[in-house]
Amino acid sequence: MYSSGQALPFLTYCRRRTIAQEETRISRYLIPHRKEIFATGVCVLIAVGINLYLPYIMRLIIDGLKEKTLDQPALIQLLSTYFLLGVVSVVFSRFLRKIPLKLSHKVEYALRSDVFGHLTQLDQEYYRGERTGDLMTRMSSDINIIRDSIGQGLLQGIRTLAVLIFASIVMALTDPGLAWLVFSLYLPMVGIFFLILRKMRRQQKDLQEHVSEVSNFCQESFAGIRTLKGFALERRRNNQFEELNSDLVKKNMLLQVSRQSLWPFMAFWFSLGMILILNFGGRRIITGELTLGTLTQFIQYLLYMQWPLLALSWTMSMLQRGKVSWIRIREILERESSLECRISNQEPQNSKVDARIQFQDVDLAIQGRTFLKDINLDISAGTTLGITGPTGSGKTLLVSLVARLMDPTDGSVLVGGIDIRNLSLAQLRGMIGFAAQEPILFSRTLEHNIGFGVVNPDKTLIGWAADIAHLRDDVEGFPEQYQTMLGERGVTLSGGQRQRTSISRAIARRPDILILDDVLSAVDTQTEAAIMGKLQPVMKERTTLFVSHRISTLRYADEIVVIENGCITQRGSHNELIRQPGYYSELNTLQQLEEKLEADA
Amino acid sequence: MKLAKRLFAYSLPYWRALALALALIVGTSLAINFLPVLIQRMTDQCLMDTARPAGERIDLLMKLSILYISIAAIGHGVRYFQGLLTAWIGQKIIYDLRLDVFRKVLRMQQSYFDQTAIGTLMTRVTSDIERLQHFVTEGIVGTIADLFMLLGIMGYMIYISPALSLAIFATLPFLFAIMFYVNAKLRNANRDIRDRQSRLNALLQEDLTGMTTIQLFNREAATVKDFDQRNAHLRSAYFDEVRWFSLYFPTVEGGQALSVLLILAVGGLLILDGSTAITLGTFIAFLAYIRDFFRPLGSLSDKAGSFQIAMASIERIFTLLDTAEEVSDPAKPVSSDRIAGTIAFNKVWFAYTEENWVLKDISFSVEPGQVLAVVGATGAGKSTIINLIGRFYDIQKGGVTIDGVDVREFGKADLRGRLGYVFQDPFIFTGSVADNISLQTPGINRSDLIRAAKTVNAHAFIEAMPEGYDTVMNERGEGLSLGQKQLLVMARTLAQDPELLFVLDEATASVDTATEMLIQDALAKLMANRTSIVIAHRLSTIRHAHRILVMRHGKLVDQGTHEELMAHDGYYRQLYELLLHSPDQ
């Protein structure tokens, strides 16, 4: 944004970077929830504590029954304790899950909201460089991974830690020998489990890549069906698909080799643990050094520790993935608009700015390629400028500059004599009604779309705007008139209807500056004439820039410029240009011939 | 039921493997669930039986331990094998189905593709099939395995102690009901999440695409507000999921704790009463059974409700497989060695949708080796003519013949193999340049395809690519300009050496003048000495034609040579003058 030669701006630039980084630490999203994190810890302590205590009660009962020291009231008392503690444990076991998971969804919400809010502040240049699909992935799966690693990380992380510490203490205090046995069993088990999981992840990735290869192949086959049929390639294509399909089975089976081993492996290992405890503990029971109750207690611990310990390796990889996703999210949050922000939208607006537009020696280059060169224009308030020229000559870019969709590389654009970089974006764009050639409409009601740029639009305004753009008759044919939904779930508009809706949307703002970028290319000549008739008075009241390929439209302009290869090659009124040899008069001849052909038909 | 039957038909080829899997399921269930019985013996006969000498007890303990670990090793090993076998069967069934679906789609007529979105077809071959795969392996076989596991456990429990078993089984319907309920709620929550996520994504997609519009109309704040509304909506669905999810495991834990309590209570009281039916060994064995009891129970309660979702996918897949194929091959297709090349239309009427005639009573013929140009305004029905010859669509009235034989009497593949099409939008396949030209047709070797590329002026730019003819391109042919793609596609057509050639020649604004010259030259070489029909938009192609058809609103209004038609001073002359002034020429 700043050249490195200027010392001061460079410093401010650096400072801004550091601030941005602090703003985008994940802790920012966690600190507001510190109470919930603390509560999770408390739940874990209670639930783990009880679960380690219950086997002790079991031991008392078994040993009591064995030694015949237990009478019925004592047994019932122990059972009642067991029951009560069990209920408490179940309750806390629920909160131990509910609190961190709920928290993770709150963070997810806040994060997604922040990222989206930030995205609305980024300019066209950013969106040119990013694919929508990629942004969508970040907004969904990356944020989901971050959420999971927070939720599961808290839940599993705290629990595993608590189980490890407290179970070691309790077991060591009860019987150090058996404690060693249990731990020496779990150590290799967690290790092997970790290895299998890692292998599975790799195979999963491999499989996923192959799956997308298969789906690309299908996509390509269906999209290129004309070519396939035209060259009678179906059989060859089928054979190729068969091969891909076989590989899919192979890759799937490779994954199954690891995946199917998980459960039998764990079950076997547990059996092994069971028999080792029974065997070593059993010998000591026979020699009278150990009671059956203590043995049972250890079997219960073996059982209880299984999941938290296995979750360890899973949680680790979850956190790892969360970190990667967080970096991808941070990239969005730390990105800044390339439009220089001199006046923010919050600052008081420049009082009244009139609608004269000037281009002063404007050059525009995008990624090193020059698109506009030496553009000089002076459009007085209330006049109309027509712009024409071949496809790709830079007409759309020229009008985009007025609305600051990008800034010129050199020179400046002035509105009301003020460089538009010295106006806030909100004020500048608030003055403009913009209609594009391929307009984007939103899947909402027609009314919403027309009143898109107006705060609380009333029905009269919507009706007026629709009428000017010759949309009223179409609307009356729609099932719910102005309340008709557009898009997939509603009415699909024709190209011409879309363009006319976009014109309505632009004029509904009653803007000082009206920009129409080839907005009548998809309507027929009769409708075009009708629209131009109604648009005329509206255009007269404001400064209008319109791009068009049609002489019949262009002739309404006070001045017309022809742009070829980014430069203005001709300028003047319709009557002047028609007499000059050049693009404009060629266009005129061609369209007269076309008219004749149409008239005959 | 009918659907299930059809799906079952797909598993028939693997009935041996299925039978083996079933036998293994029963066998392992019996073996693995026998292990707690051994524990009971160890406890009662070795640990607790103080009447016998210690040495003997330790020996027996050792023996039983070895038996225990052997059964465990074999049982779980076989179970692993059974898991793999089951997965393999599922994969094979899905393999067959996926192949059938893909082949079916490729057999469908062009009009089917005109009406069906590619996204829909993709859903059939990807997510619907995946759901089906899940249903076959986890659903059907998984349910059987769970059921036998449960039956095995219950059988042994009754064998060891009917009294304790009854006490525990009494809680079963209750527990199963809770789990089924929680699972149903979870599925609902998950469906809500999916719905709301996709609605949020739809909004997001639209907002990201229309961000410039949003900014131009100062709608940022309102857009963020809308987004947050759906975002919050999604969050509340997640909260719902958390509510039920956080109940699921505690329910299982509670069930286990309750069962343990029942064993301790019933067993304890019976022992205190002096009953000998229950020993401490029974206690320990039951504790082991309870651990294994809840996994199959939970997964059964989950599967019981998820069949419905899979059924919808199965139905969609079979509906696709049952769709009628309209352009079919004749029973006895005509085949000749070499087509001479007389194409004739005889009073042809055609409509894409009923009674909406695109071609009205068209008759004309092309002699072998001739180039016929078709001209007319957009929508006059020009390109329909060449679509009909290759039977992309079948006509309603009249006849289209090649060498006097109706095209419907040829086999489609045979017919299309003799025709060459150059469409207006060049389609590049993922793969090397060489493969894109040869289409891997047997008999086209490297020198043939290079010769073809040279003829149509494509050789120079192909050589300039990083790995020449071996450069791998993606589907869209990224890195090539539109003009280059068009040349590449012409090289492809020339290499196939078609007997009849059809060209949709559209002058394109975005092709630069130099490439445009190359394309025109290439077209001329393609059509040389070949019966060709060209839908002409360029003056140069019109000039190359032996004869010209003039189409207007689906009717043939005039035909003849350029000079003849100019002399008529009619519609053709106007068209020609328009082309002359068009900036694209």
Residue of A403 and B341 predicted with greater confidence: A403
pTM of the shown model: 0.75
A435 neighbors A399 (Cβ within 8 angstroms): no
Instruction: Give domain status of residue A8, yes or no.
Output: no
List, edge to edge, every strand of the sheet that includes B419-422. B419-422, B500-504, B531-535, B371-375, B547-552, B555-560
What number is the average pLDDT over the span B223-232? 90
Buried (b) or exposed (e) across B482-518, using 16+ Cβ within 10 A? bbbbbbbbbbbbbbbebbbbbbbbbbeeebeeebbeb
Q: How many degrees, rounded to 5, is the angle at CA A23 between CA A17 and CA A26?
A: 125
Q: Note whether A321 and A233 are same-domain residues.
A: yes
CB neighbour list of residue B419: distance below 8 Å, 6 or more residues apart: A230, B389, B390, B498, B499, B500, B501, B502
The two tokens of residue B22 are: 């079933």
- CB-CB contact of A330 with A144 (8 Å): no
Co-location of A455 and A542 in the same domain: yes
Q: Average per-residue pLDDT in chain A?
A: 82
Chain A segment 288-307 residues within 8 A of B by beta carbon are 292, 295-296, 299-300, 303
pLDDT at B251 over 70: yes
- Answer yes or no: are the C-beta atoms of A408 and A358 closer than 8 Å: no
The distance of Cα A220 from the centroid of its chain, to the nearest Å, equals: 26
The Cα–Cα gap between B437 and B52 comes to 88
Interface test with A, best of B246, B419, B499 (most A CBs within 10 A): B246
Q: With CA atoms as reference, report the closest residue to A546 among A423, A406, A420, A379.
A: A379
Report pLDDT digits (tens) over A300-323.
Answer: 888 888 777 777 777 887 888 888
What is the rounded CA–CA span in Å between residue A568 and residue B101? Answer: 57
Residue B408 at interface with chain A, using a CB cutoff of 8 Å: no
Are A362 and A429 in the same domain?
A: yes
- Residue A527 CA neighbour count, 13 Å, CB half: 17
Tokens 């086997």 found at: A55
pLDDT number for residue A13 = 35
**Which of the four pLDDT bands, split at 50, 70 and 90, describes residue B16?**
very high
Tell me if ipTM is over 0.90.
no
Contact B208 A237 (CB under 8 A): no
At B362, give phi and psi (nearest 5°).
Answer: -95, 130
Q: Which residues of B touch A140 (CB under 8 A)?
A: 197, 201
Per the structure, the count of domains in chain A is 2
With beta carbons less than 8 A apart as the criterion, state whether A522 and A499 touch.
yes
Distance CA A96, CA A40 (A): 5
Question: In chain B, which among 523-562 make CB contacts under 8 A with chain A?
Answer: 552-553
> In this structure, are strands B472-473 and B547-552 parallel, antiparallel, or unpaired?
unpaired
A-interface mutation test, from B104, B216, B233, B577, most A Cβ less than 10 A away? B216
Say whether both A320 and A386 belong to one domain. no
Contact B216 A228 (CB under 8 A): no
Residues 258-297 of B with CB under 8 A from A: 258, 260-261, 264-265, 268-269, 271-272, 280, 283-284, 287-288, 291
Predicted pLDDT at A348: 65
Chain B residues close to A71, C-beta within 8 Å? 272
pLDDT at A4 over 50: no
Cα distance between residue A180 and residue A403, in whole Å:
74
Distance CA B11, CA B92 (A): 9
Burial A190-213 (b: 16+ CB within 10 A, else e): eeebbebbebbeebeeebeebbee
Cβ neighbourhood burial of B446 (10 Å; 0-12, 13-18, 19+): exposed
For chain B, the average pLDDT equals 83
What tens digit of pLDDT does each residue of A139-155 get? 888 888 899 899 888 88
B residues 48-77 closer than 8 Å to A (CB): 48, 54, 57-58, 61-62, 65, 68-69, 72-73, 76-77
Q: Does A288 lie in the same domain as A366?
A: no
Confidence band of A78 (pLDDT split at 50, 70, 90): very high
Residue-level pLDDT at A376: 85
Q: Do A106 and A242 belong to one domain? A: yes
Q: Are A73 and A124 in contact (CB under 8 A)?
A: no
Residue entry with tokens 């410039």: B212
Choose between B541 and B583: higher pLDDT. B541
Mean of pLDDT values over A451-475: 82
Average pLDDT over residues B270-290: 83
Taking an 8 Å cut-off on Cβ atoms, the answer to whether A220 and B575 are in contact is: no
SS3 B225: helix
CB contact under 8 A, B47 and A443: no
DSSP A566-583: TEEEEEE-HHHHHHSSSH
* Domain ranges for chain B: 1-160+308-323, 162-277, 343-581
Cα distance between residue A470 and residue B170, in whole Å? 75
Q: Closest Cα of chain A to B102: distance in Å?
A: 8
- The pLDDT of residue A3 is 34
Domain at B343-581: CATH code: 3.40.50.300
Identify residue A469 by its one-letter amino acid code: A
A233 and chain B in contact, CB less than 8 A: yes
Residues A275 and A376 in one domain: no
Q: What is the CATH number of domain B1-160+308-323?
A: 1.20.1560.10
The b-or-e profile of A474-483 (16+ CB within 10 A means b, else e) is bbeebeeebe
Residue B72 clears pLDDT 90, i.e. is over it:
yes
pLDDT at residue A77 in the model = 92
Residue B67 has pLDDT above 90, yes or no: yes
Given a contact cutoff of 8 angstroms between Cβ atoms, the answer to whether A377 and A357 are in contact is: yes
Helix (H) or strand (E) holding A504: helix A495-507
For CA atoms B78, B80, B84, B90, the dihedral sign is positive
Residues in chain A: 601
Please determine, for residue A8, whether its predicted confidence score (pLDDT) is greater than 60.
no
Per the domain annotation, does A347 fall within a domain? no
Please state the separation of Cα A337 from the chain's center in Å.
Answer: 18
Given a cut of 80, whether residue B450 has pLDDT beyond it is yes
**CB of B232 within 8 Å of any CB in chain A?**
yes
A18 pLDDT above the threshold of 50: no
Q: Which of residues 352-411 of A touch B (CB under 8 A)?
A: 390-392, 403, 405
The Cα–Cα gap between B476 and B485 comes to 10
Cβ neighbours around A601 below 10 Å, total:
10
DSSP string, B275-340: -SS--HHHHHHHHHHHHHHHHHHHHHHHHHHHHHHHHHHHHHHHHHHHSPPSS---SS-B--SS--
Residue B305 pLDDT: 62
Chain B nearest C-alpha distance from A13 (Å): 25
**Domain identity same for A512 and A433:** yes
Give the highest mean pLDDT range of A299-303, A423-427, B241-245. B241-245
pLDDT range class, residue A16, cuts 50, 70, 90: very low
Asked whether residue A76 falls in the same domain as residue A182, the answer is yes
Distance set, CA B31 to CA B24, B28, B156 (Å): 10, 5, 11
| Chain B environment of A218 (Cβ under 8 Å) | 102, 121-122, 125-126
| Percent of the residues in chain A that have a pLDDT greater than 90, as a whole number | 10
Quick check: A286 pLDDT over 70?
yes
Average pLDDT over residues A523-532: 75
Contacts of A303 in chain B (CB under 8 A): 291
Which residues, including other chains, have CB under 8 Å from residue A173's CB and lie 6 or more apart? none
Q: Tell whether A170 is within 8 A of chain B (Cβ).
A: no
pLDDT-derived band at A42, boundaries 50, 70, 90: very high
**Residue labelled with tokens 């800034």:** A407
> H or E stretch including A374?
strand A369-379
Nearest CA distance, A585 vs chain B (angstrom)? 11
Whether residue A351 lies inside any domain: the answer is no
Which segment of A71-85, A123-137, A319-333, B183-197 scores lowest on mean pLDDT?
Answer: A123-137
By the 8 A CB rule, do A514 and A544 touch? yes
- Condensed to tens digits (0 to 9), the pLDDT of residues B478-524 reads 667 777 888 888 888 888 888 888 877 765 545 666 677 787 788 88
Q: Tokens 């089951």 — which residue?
A: B86
Does residue B309 surpass a pLDDT of 60?
yes
pLDDT of residue A9 exceeding 50: no
More confidently predicted of A296 and A524: A296
Specify the CATH number for the domain of residue A274: 1.20.1560.10
Confidence check: pLDDT of B544 > 80: no
Contact check, Cβ <8 Å, B216/A434: yes
Neighbours of A134 (CB within 10 A): 10
- Tens-digit pLDDT profile for residues B458-480: 888 888 888 888 888 876 776 67
Residue that wins the pLDDT comparison between B545 and A16: B545
- Return d(Cα B337, Cα B333) in angstroms, integer: 13
Q: Is residue A538 part of a domain?
A: yes
Least confident of A176-185, B257-266, B407-416, B449-458: B407-416
- pLDDT attached to residue A1: 32
First to last CA, chain B: 63
Closest CA to B541 of B575, B507, B510: B507
- Strand pairing class (B500-504; B419-422): parallel
Closest chain B residue to A222, measured at CA? B118
SS3 (DSSP) at A175: coil
pLDDT digits (tens, 9 = 90+) for A249-279: 999 899 989 888 888 888 898 888 889 988 8
Q: What pLDDT does A361 receive?
A: 87
pLDDT band at A49 (very low <50, low <70, confident <90, very high): very high
- Residue B572: list chain A partners with CB under 8 A: none
DSSP A364: E
Cβ atoms of B348 and B359 closer than 8 Å: yes
The pairs formed by A210-217 with CB atoms below 8 angstroms and a separation of 24 or more are A210/A244, A210/A247, A210/A248, A210/A251, A211/A248, A211/B126, A213/A244, A214/A241, A214/A244, A214/A245, A214/A248, A215/B122, A215/B125, A215/B126, A216/B430, A216/B475, A217/A241, A217/A244, A217/B430
Looking up tokens 């439209």, which residue turns up? A553
pLDDT value of position A599:
59
**A272: containing domain:** 21-333
Please give the pLDDT value at position B77: 94
What contacts B295, CB < 8 A, 6 or more positions away? none
With left for phi above 0 and alpha for psi between -120 and 50, is residue B85 left, alpha or beta? alpha
